[in-house]
Structure 1
C-alpha cells in the first residue's frame, strides 16, 4: 500500500513538472521576425579585359540571378516556412509580412523566388492548378534613393575621410606591401590597369562565377592563386566597414539598417506593428557585411549566396522581451546563434538596444560632414578681424563727434519765429 502511495506521489510530481514545463513553454512566445538575406547565385557583374568569357557567355548577361540562385532562394523560403510554422499563417496574409528589396534585378528576383518557397498557394489562393505559385508584393525604391539596404551609403564625406585614414593604417600598408608583386601579376594577366586591394575582388568574383558554372579558367588562375584572391577579397570587405574606427564607420553605414530594425522590433514589442509579424530584406553581400560589422558579429568572410541573418523578438513573460539572432550561411546546417558582445544569446530587448546605441547616428547627414580645423580657424580669424575693424570705426566715430561738440560756436542762424509771434 505504501509502495503504491509512493508511486502515486511520484506520478503526481511528474505530472506537475510536466504541466509546469508546458506552462513555461506556452508563456514564451515568438512575436516578431526580421530577416536580411543576400540574393542567390548570379552571373559576374563584369568581365576583365582578357577574359575569354564576355557577357554573351551568360544567358541573361552580367549581374543576373541564375537558375541555381532561384533554387537557392526557393530553398531558403522553404526553410523559413518550416522554421516559422505555427507563427506565420500557412497561406499568404498581407497583414503579416512585408518584403523590401533593393532596386536590382537579382535581389528583386531573389525576393520573388524566396516568397515562392515561403508561400506556395493552397486552397482558394490557387489561381491556376498548373502553377504552384502566387504573386506576393515586393517593395522597393529607386536605386538613386536607396538609403537603407545598399552599402556603402554615399555621398558621405566623413566616411570617405575614414576610408582614406584606413589606407594609411599599418594593416592596410603591410597588406599592400606583401601583395605588390602578386597584384601586379594579376593585373598583367587580366589586363586590368588598376588592380589594388580594393579592386582585386572583382577578379576573384569573375573567376569564382565562371568556375561554379563550369566555364574554363585561365592557366594562371591556379588553386593557390584562387585561394590568395579569396583572402584578398575578404580583406576588401573588411576595408569597407572595418580595419580601423569600425564603430565610427558603423554609425555612417550599417548602423542605419540597425536603427531601422530596432525601430521595427520596438514597435512590435509595443503592439504598434498593426499585426505585422515578419519583415524580409532582399539585399547584397555588402549589406550583410555592413550590418554584421555594425553588430560586431562579422566572421571575416563574405556572406555566401542566399545567406540569411535572422532577428527574432521573443516575449518571455508579459512585457518581458528578448532578442535572438541567427545566421544561416549553410543550407545543410541549422542557422547558428549569434550574440552581440556584452550580452547573452537571448538578450533582453532594453540591453540589446542600449548596447547598439553607440552605432546609431542621431543625425546622419550632420555626422557625415567633415569638421575642418583649418576652416574653423579661418572663420575665427575672420570674425576677430571684422570685430577689430568695427571697433576702430566706432572709436573713430566717437572721436569725430566729440571734436565737433567741443569746437567754439561761430555765427549761427537764429530763428525769428518768436518775433513774428510777438
Structure 2
C-alpha cells in the first residue's frame, strides 16, 4: 500500500482514497475563461456499513474506535430556568455504547465519518482553495457578505441529509474558507433538502419506480456475475465462515468489499488475497455493475435527471446574466453512487468503486470574445449596445479522479472545441440534459406509499 502522503491510497488495484490534485490540474487552452464550477465530492473515510469478518482468519475490528475527535456540540436553547447571564448554550458530548452497555474512547456507529475522513475532507477543502483561489484567482481570497440573501454569495454549499456528508462538507468549507478568510459576520451556509426531495442521490424513497428498477438491476447483475464469482470461493469463503461469494449472498459481495475498503483506508491489515489484482478487479467490477451502472434511459432520467437539470439551469443563468449572477462555485457533498451515476449517465464510468474524497467536476468556460469595431450608431448607444452571445461560445469540461472526461455525446465535429474533445459545447451538453430531464418526476415515479 502507498503511504498516506502519496497521490492516492491503493490496495491491490483498488483505489480507496483520491485527493484533489492541484499541481496536476490542466489549464484550459488560451481563449477560454472559467465562469462557474460544479463540484460533487464523495464524503471522507467512514466506518463500514456493517461489522463483518471479525473472526479469524480475517480478524477485522469488531469495534471501530476511530472517532476520537472531540464530539462536543453547542446548541442554542430557550432557557426557562434561572442561569448565569452568560449561559446561553447547552454543551454536551456524544458517545456510543454496545448492546451490553459498554463503551470505549472513539467508538462510533457504522457508516460514520472517522477522524481520518475529517482530515481528508479538510485537505480537500484546502486543495480547492489552493486551486481556485491561489492558483487560478477564480474565487476571492476573502468571502464577502454581498447581500442578506445567502444565494448571493459566490458559493453554494449543499449536502445530502446524511451525517457523514454534512460533516464532510463542514470540513471542506473550513478548508476552503476558514473563519480567518471570511469577512465579519459572514458564515458560509450549508444547505440540505428533505429526504423525499433530495436529488443528490438516486432517491428511491421519493421514487418507487426507481426502487423497482434498481431491484431489477441487482437481479440482472447477480445472474451475470455469480457464476464468475464462484471462482473466488476457494480463496475468500474462509473469511466469511465458508459461505459463497455472491452478489446476493449473505454477506453480499458488496458488503465484503466495503469492509475491506474501509479497513484498508484506515491502515488496518486485510487478508492477503485482497492484494491480488485479479481478485480485486473481478470483485470490484461485479459490485460496481450491481450498484452503480445505470443501464436504461429511464433509470438515468429518474435517478440523476433532476440533478443534471439543476446543473444546466445554474449554468444557463450564468450565461444569460453574466457578472450579475455572482455564483462561481457550487460544492456538493454526496456519495459514491452519485459520482458513479454522473459518470455512467455520460457513458464514462470506469466500473471502479468511487474512492473516498473523489470528485466529479463540471466546469463552465466562456470563449473570450475579441472586441469588434462598432458602427457609429452602436457607439451612440454606448452601454446599451450588446453583442449577441451564443451557447456555442460556452464549453463544459467534466473531470473525474483528476482526469478530463471525453464525453461520447460531444464526439462529433462541431460539438466540442476544435482540437480539445474534452471541452463539450454547452449547447450539446444541454441537449443531452434535456433528454434526461423528467417532464414530471413525481408522475413518472409512481405513487408513494
Normalising by structure 2, what TM-score?
0.64
Q: Give the Å deviation of 1:152.
A: 4.9
- Does 1:55 pair with 2:106? no
Q: Give the Å deviation of 1:103.
A: 1.8
Judged with a 3 Å threshold, the aligned counterparts in structure 2 of structure 1 residues 172 and 279 are, in CA distance, closer, same or farther, namely: same
Q: Please, which of 102, 110, 116 is the counterpart of residue 174 of structure 2? A: 116
Q: Please, which of 89, 98, 110 is the counterpart of residue 156 of structure 2? A: 98
Take 1:60 and 1:230, find their aligned partners in 2: how far apart are those partners?
32
SS of residue paired to 1:299: coil
SS of residue paired to 2:362: strand
Which deviates more, 145-154 or 356-365? 145-154
Take 2:181 and 2:445, find their aligned partners in 1: how far apart are those partners?
52
Take 1:206 and 1:123, find their aligned partners in 2: how far apart are those partners?
38
Q: What is the aligned partner in structure 1 of residue 409 from structure 2?
A: 342
Judged with a 3 Å threshold, the aligned counterparts in structure 2 of structure 1 residues 44 and 124 are, in CA distance, closer, same or farther, namely: closer
Gaps of 5+ in 1: 1-23, 128-133, 330-334, 371-422
Which deviates more, 276-285 or 178-187? 178-187
Judged with a 3 Å threshold, the aligned counterparts in structure 2 of structure 1 residues 312 and 191 are, in CA distance, closer, same or farther, namely: same
| Cα pair 1:204 1:230 within 8 Å, conserved | no
Gaps of 5+ in 2: 1-28, 67-105, 146-152, 370-386, 411-415, 417-421
Written as runs of structure 1 = structure 2, the 5 A alignment for 1:165-184 is 165-166=216-217, 169=220, 172-180=222-230, 182=232
Judged with a 3 Å threshold, the aligned counterparts in structure 2 of structure 1 residues 260 and 192 are, in CA distance, closer, same or farther, namely: farther
Q: Give the Å deviation of 1:101.
A: 0.5
Q: Please, which of 230, 248, 256 is the counterpart of residue 203 of structure 1? A: 256
Which structure has the greater CA radius of gyration? 1
Q: Give the Å deviation of 1:56.
A: 4.7
Q: Give the Å deviation of 1:161.
A: 4.2
Q: What is the aligned partner in structure 2 of residue 71 from structure 1?
A: 119
Take 1:157 and 1:119, find their aligned partners in 2: how far apart are those partners?
39
Written as runs of structure 1 = structure 2, the 5 A alignment for 1:15-54 is 28-48=32-52, 50-51=54-55, 52=59, 53-54=61-62
Judged with a 3 Å threshold, the aligned counterparts in structure 2 of structure 1 residues 78 and 65 are, in CA distance, closer, same or farther, namely: same
Take 1:60 and 1:326, find their aligned partners in 2: how far apart are those partners?
39
Take 2:431 and 2:259, find their aligned partners in 1: how far apart are those partners?
41
Provide Cα deviations, 1:262-282, integer angstroms capped at 9, x if missing partner. 121112212187422211100
Higher helix content, 1 or 2: 1
Take 1:193 and 1:184, find their aligned partners in 2: how far apart are those partners?
10
Provide Cα deviations, 1:147-197, integer angstroms capped at 9, x if missing partner. 31123533544334434544565x752421122363597566425989631
| Cα pair 1:33 1:310 within 8 Å, conserved | yes
Normalising by structure 1, what TM-score?
0.68
Take 2:201 and 2:266, find their aligned partners in 1: how far apart are those partners?
27
Written as runs of structure 1 = structure 2, the 5 A alignment for 1:332-411 is 335-343=402-410, 344=416, 345-369=422-446
Q: Please, which of 204, 208, 212 is the counterpart of residue 265 of structure 2? A: 212
Q: Give the Å deviation of 1:141.
A: 2.6
Q: What is the aligned partner in structure 2 of residue 387 from structure 1?
A: none
Q: Give the Å deviation of 1:289.
A: 0.9
SS of residue paired to 2:193: coil
| Cα pair 1:152 1:240 within 8 Å, conserved | no
| Cα pair 2:362 2:398 within 8 Å, conserved | yes
